[in-house]
Structure 1
């Protein structure tokens, strides 16, 4: 079974054609997916979707790129995240992290939000889903300072040195369709070197469709192309990537197997 460890099936473009998307998943052999939260405003709708399908799980969290000044997006507290994480189908905290790409200092609010998620992960015993962009040094620093529990660096796009820093903290590395892009030499290097027992695959759909679908809307069925590219880079059968990434998923997201 292939598992998409990070997607956004509740986003409007995918939800508008959900029956077709789910059928493509079935046909491709993608038997499970984690639908990842980006804000609290839309979280009830995300959960309503996940509750309808036994092969879907959810997370709870607020994306680091969500503006703290947006009144429509509630700022998370540890207590609120812990409470929502009590739902049987919530298996992770996040996505959280740091994203400095479009923003400029002061960003203390973003760093404090990240700390809030890490503390919620400690209280719940659930893994973290971490997003980092243009902020790798601070991301790793806060992970160390807060003694972040196990989790995954999702849609990894950093160097092998950053990957090593995360691996040293007990984290997994998840690769998306970007690994199939011609100009993705740095990520392809990570794909060759990351230990097989720390590797996850994802789509981050509806974004980042892999080759040969680059530029089109992505969906979880296309996670197989991520696996195929990693297998090519490592010189192993794709079934080895399929099996290892699935085993790693169930190990990291330990609550997923028990969820109703």
Structure 2
């Protein structure tokens, strides 16, 4: 059984066949999915999907690209959603310096506020870190009682080892299957299996040989295969280990 620990099924790319795709997953070997919100509205959509499908769980949070124009009570709204029994994390939160629209100081403020909320609620976090590796690592170090996952990990092996020592997890998308992937295989080789998870980040970043298509959780097996090749493990072993890792981090007992 595979656990796709990061998939955005509220995305408009699934408007035509969302229910068909989600209903098909158990038959395709995908037993669990976690759907993180990007903002207040999509966090609510994630919860609705988690209410409908027993193998789908949600996370609630505000992505750095959505940090502009938040209502005064935005954090209270996230906290209220986090009380829902299907919500297993605060996320997707973090820093994104690739896009220039949102000032870095505002991103940091929103990131810190949600890390503090996660600490208060004793929930893990799902961190988005794009071209902000130094600041992302420095900020999570300010919250030593918070744990979580750096999703779609793109940092160095050195930073990965630091995060592992701090108790964090790393998850990997279809980019690790690309022919030009260099850094991620080095990271995967350097970190222990008990801190690795797999994800699709659907509908984005479909793995080889599906690159260029809309991605969904049925492709997550390719990440398990690729990690197995790097670590010298069978796909089945990687499936079992990464699923147990995800269940442990997100407190899923089934």
- TM-score computed with the length of structure 1 as normaliser: 0.92
What is the CA RMSD across the aligned residues, in angstroms? 1.7
| Greater RCO (CA < 8 Å, at least 6 residues apart) | 1
Q: 1:118, 1:148 within 8 Å by CA — same for their partners in 2?
A: no
Alignment partner, residue 48 of structure 1: 48
Quote the Cα distance in structure 2 between the aligned partners of 1:148 and 1:17.
40
Q: In 2, Cα distance between the equivalents of 1:84 and 1:166?
A: 28
1:144-202 deviations in whole A, cap 9, x for unaligned?
12335110010111110121121122100101111001111101111222211101000
The answer for the alignment partner of 1:222 in structure 2 is 219
* Cα shift at 1:26: 2.5
Any residues of structure 2 matched to 1:1-260 within 5 Å, and which?
1-69=1-69, 74=71, 77-103=74-100, 106-147=103-144, 149-254=146-251, 256-257=252-253
**1:43 Cα shift?**
2.6
Give CA deviations for 1:56-113 in whole Å, capped at 9, x if unaligned: 00000011112514xxx54764433222110000000011011101217842110000
SS in 2 for 1:174: strand
Shift of 1:41: 2.3
The 1-side partners of 2:243 and 2:71 are apart by: 33
The CA distance in 2 between the partners of 1:40 and 1:192, in whole Å, is 37
Gaps of 5+ in 2: none
Question: Is the Cα–Cα contact under 8 Å of residues 44 and 81 in structure 2 kept in the other structure?
Answer: no
Report how many residues are paired: 254
Any gaps of 5 or more consecutive residues in structure 1? none
Distance 1:153 1:253 in 2: 13
